[in-house]
Amino acid sequence: MRRVVAVIGGTEIEAEVDAAAERVGALLAKEDAIVVTGGRGGVAEAASRGASLNGGTTVGILPGRERSEANPWVEIAIPTGMGETRNALVVMDADAVIAFPGAYGTLIELGFALHNGLRVVIVGDWPLAVGATVQHATSPEEAVEFALASTSTR
């Protein structure tokens, strides 16, 4: 069974974060992991782009009711009509979560992931003190390595 990794983070991102999120998506695709995101812009678009360009499967869990709100790199768009409440769905079926800097939506997704005992890896410097259950990665390669280490499929 294929592993599922949620990649989360902000919609307004710097070029460095965009490049790192795209690299994470590419590395996950090369490991045959399914990439799940919030489906729109920023980190979600970059990770989806990286996965898609490398033959990976991308899933976008959308807040609205229209598939058309998905970024062009989302293969499977799932409109929920739930608004930001859909954040829980982005991470709930994941085997691991890779988080880039973001805002409250990302924080909510992290909370759901941690509450459900998922492996969480934070890429880069994002001061979030949530305890020992979070690993910090210094590169996209390390993030994928940590996320896929000892994870089993559900």
Tracing tokens 């409440």 back to the chain, one arrives at 85
- Among 6, 11, 22, 9, smallest CA distance to 140 is for 22
How far is the C-alpha of 78 from the C-alpha of 142, rounded, in Å? 29
Query: What is residue 124's predicted lDDT score, i.e. its pLDDT?
Result: 80
Chain centroid offset of residue 115 CA: 17
Q: At what angle do helices 140-148 and 15-30 cross, to 10 degrees?
A: 40
Output the pLDDT for position 43: 98
Q: Read off the pLDDT of residues 127-142 as tens digits, 9 standing for 90 and up.
A: 654 444 567 788 999 9
- Asked whether the whole model's pTM tops 0.75, one would answer yes
pLDDT class of 147 with cuts at 50, 70, 90: confident
Q: Give the model's confidence band at 151: pLDDT under 50 very low, under 70 low, under 90 confident, else very high.
A: low
- Over residues 84-106, the pLDDT tens digits come to 999 999 999 899 999 999 888 89
- At 104, is the secondary structure helix, strand, or coil? helix
Tell me, what amino acid is at 154? Answer: R
Residue found by looking up tokens 């360009």 in the block: 53
